[in-house]
Amino acid sequence: MIVRSSTTRRRSRTASTASTARAAGLALAGVVSLAACGTAASPSTSAVAPATSIVSPASPSEGVPTGEPSSPAVVIPPGVVGAGCAEHLRGLPFGAASVARMSGQLLVPALAEDPSLTSVVAAISGTLNDRVDLVGALDAEPLTVFAPIDSSFAIVPPATLARFKTDRAFLTRVLNYHLVHGRLGATAVLGRHTTVQGSALTVAGTPDHLTVAGRHVICGGIRSANAVIYLIDGWLQPPA
């Protein structure tokens, strides 16, 4: 039986401890070496690409009003009728306020307020035919007037226009066929009426869609101090 001394045992434990420490140190070195290898990896393989967000630019038309700008609203005065009233009144020098201006004037000055009636004003005032001047008569009594607008005068046959300028009786007869005695509003004007010329004509339809002897009323029921005016889209021809 061999009995070891305490010193020998201590030496043995110390050597064992040192051996263990060396082994641990080698293991730790391996871990550090692996870590270092990972750190040295190529940035292109270890970097994480940042997230990208592509937002399509707004379409040029988004949020931008389309179409033509709307025309300003026109308030139609009471008693004034016709499918073309809004557009017609918008074109007057004072807009719808022109109706109020006309209401305070006699017939011929009231007609002269409307730039689309220059031809009929010329015909009744002696400008077209210096032997036909109806201004005094037209301003003297209550009347309903069917007034052709200028664009309708432009399509009068040349032979008829020449006769207007030279034939006093013929022009007077045609003009008087556009006149009815009395001031007839949009409802009262419906029906058959005897004209100042002596022949009859018929006003048909509804207040907003009137026709006069087949011609269309653009805008009507416009009052002057002594008359009611209906703008029509053509000249009326009295029966032969």
pTM of this structure = 0.71
β-strand 200-206 against 209-212: which pairing, if any? antiparallel
Whether the CA torsion 112, 116, 118, 123 is positive or negative: it is negative
Residue 36 tokens read as: 């270092």
φ, ψ dihedrals at 231, nearest 5°? -85, 130
List the pLDDT tens digit at each of the 240 positions of the chain: 334 444 444 444 444 444 443 443 433 334 333 333 344 444 443 443 444 443 444 444 444 445 555 556 788 999 999 999 999 999 998 888 999 999 999 999 999 999 999 999 999 999 999 999 999 999 999 999 999 999 998 889 999 999 999 999 999 999 999 999 999 999 999 999 999 999 999 999 999 999 999 999 999 999 999 999 999 999 999 998
CB 131 within 8 A of CB 158: no
Q: How many CA atoms lie within 13 A of 48 on its CB side?
A: 2
Which residue is associated with the tokens 């907003």?
208
Rounded (10°) angle between helices 168-176 and 158-166: 110
The three-state (H, E, C) secondary structure of 132-146, written as one string:
CECHHHHCCCCEEEE
φ, ψ dihedrals at 236, nearest 5°? -95, 140
pLDDT of residue 70: 55
Strand positions, DSSP E, 112-208: 143-148, 179-181, 191-194, 200-206
Find the farthest-apart pair of alpha carbons in the chain and give their distance in angstroms, rounded. Answer: 170
The Cα 59–Cα 189 span in angstroms is 56
Residues making up the chain, counted from first to last: 240
CB 150 within 8 A of CB 118: yes
Domains of the chain are 85-232 (2.30.180.10)
**Cβ density class 74-99: b for 16+ within 10 Å, e for less:** bebbebbbbeebeebbeebeeebebb
pLDDT of residue 96: 86
